[in-house]
Structure 1
């Protein structure tokens, strides 16, 4: 079960004005999807929409919205509740490069609002219609930092761990409803995300960083395969299989009703 099944082909993409979101728009338009593109920057959305429409007959609608703003996120929820959206790409996100104590209150709040709250609310808004129609797909863009935190990524890593765990839970909830939920976990990818650090494309080692085009092509291939977790940069699939098996074994070992012997006072 994956993206190649029968769809009426309308996709809503958040964070669509640049980087990974813009490449998703290009690739999905090429697959025949009509698009609803959501981002803060109306000018960039308009430029992208014009480019896509010149390339083919795809219908492209743009909605300028800041998903950390209550009124704006409410508008996007209404689209998902009231229209037949077959594919939701939760791509909008941010990650200030700062330690917990140094990060501004505004950046901390915005990171939680965008990476966690917006993703949950848009997913919840999309699911009822998909369940009724017994078809649909949701892509939640996380990060390999879901497994690892650096001194300057504590909050960002925590939000991406949330994305992974939330996605895995929703997968179980909708497994009998014809809905595919994919947790996409990119590693280093060349986008404007790194622009705030003053990096240019010449600073990226292609042995470590992939392009947004490579990432999205791999992500869509994984979605076509019905993958629940897609890590485009991980060549050895057994790494994930072993990790997931260890996770399940560890959880199974927690249900014992008594403290472990190492915590008992002699």
Structure 2
């Protein structure tokens, strides 16, 4: 990966939780920042602390990423601001209900935030990164991308999309100098539970958000394509990935497998 140490970092969902922790960590590293979230007042307060504490430049860009016009403003910033060398797509939400009691409007809003915004932001910045031969895209997925039975409804599906998109982008853009990382947190102490109306009673343990982001940045520095901070053994992920790749040659067949033929 090209050296992005002096490049500006744009972080979505930057007013709290994982996004705020990323902002603090990148500021400590000397990066200037562009903070994106809906809550201007909260971001302005955070920006003031980061400017005084770390001596970096911090721009605040209020936006609701589910609103096409506001998302377009962030896309334009990524396309046009050549100082930005790292995109952290962190903004996301969850829902407490599954499909048996689905509010379709809420489902669509979730998909707009967790899927469409992540896709469009990556698509806005990728051509410039490729032209420059450097840049990094960090997409926050979730361990439920690998375990959809843990959480009902569409949330796991959106995070599975983020993981697959990140892997696809890394395969396409990696050889052209662009680093793409998917981060898969487990349950982490953030406001997503309160905002989504989800209960934490059934969750025995939760990771501290600072520890999560510190671990994710270790993976970033190592240029990992997939970082799973709670996973104790790297070999488990490597075995999973190897099993998937072992199937690939069998997907290109003229006929259905014998087990499906009478």
Out of 240, 248, 253, the position equivalent to 1:251 is 248
Q: Give the secondary-structure state (helix, strand or coil) at the position aligned to 1:175.
A: helix
Matched, 1:76 2:87: no
After TM superposition, the score normalised by the length of structure 2 is 0.94
Gapped runs of 5+ residues in structure 1?
none
Query: Which residue in the other structure is 1:172 paired with?
Result: 171
Query: Which residue in the other structure is 1:227 paired with?
Result: 224
Aligned-partner Cα distance in 1 for 2:132–2:251: 38
Gapped runs of 5+ residues in structure 2?
none
Q: 1:40 to 1:130 in 2, by over 3 A?
A: same
CA root-mean-square deviation: 1.7
The 5 A counterparts of 1:127-146 are 127-146=126-145
Q: Which runs of 4+ in 1 moved over 6 A?
A: none
Query: Which residue in the other structure is 1:97 paired with?
Result: 96
Deviation at 1:45, TM superposition (A): 0.8
Do the aligned partners of 1:94 and 1:114 also contact (CA within 8 Å) in 2? yes
Do the aligned partners of 1:116 and 1:162 also contact (CA within 8 Å) in 2? yes
Task: Provide Cα deviations, 1:194-250, integer angstroms capped at 9, x if missing partner.
Answer: 1144657x9964xx3211100100101101001000000001001100000011112
Query: Which residue in the other structure is 1:57 paired with?
Result: 55
Aligned-partner Cα distance in 2 for 1:162–1:89: 16
Do the aligned partners of 1:143 and 1:184 also contact (CA within 8 Å) in 2? yes
Aligned-partner Cα distance in 2 for 1:155–1:264: 34
Q: Give the secondary-structure state (helix, strand or coil) at the position aligned to 2:136.
A: strand
Do the aligned partners of 2:4 and 2:135 also contact (CA within 8 Å) in 1? no
The 5 A counterparts of 1:17-166 are 17-84=15-82, 85-150=84-149, 152-166=151-165
Do the aligned partners of 1:98 and 1:152 also contact (CA within 8 Å) in 2? no
User: How many residues matched?
Assistant: 260
Q: 1:151 to 1:191 in 2, by over 3 A?
A: closer
After TM superposition, the score normalised by the length of structure 1 is 0.93
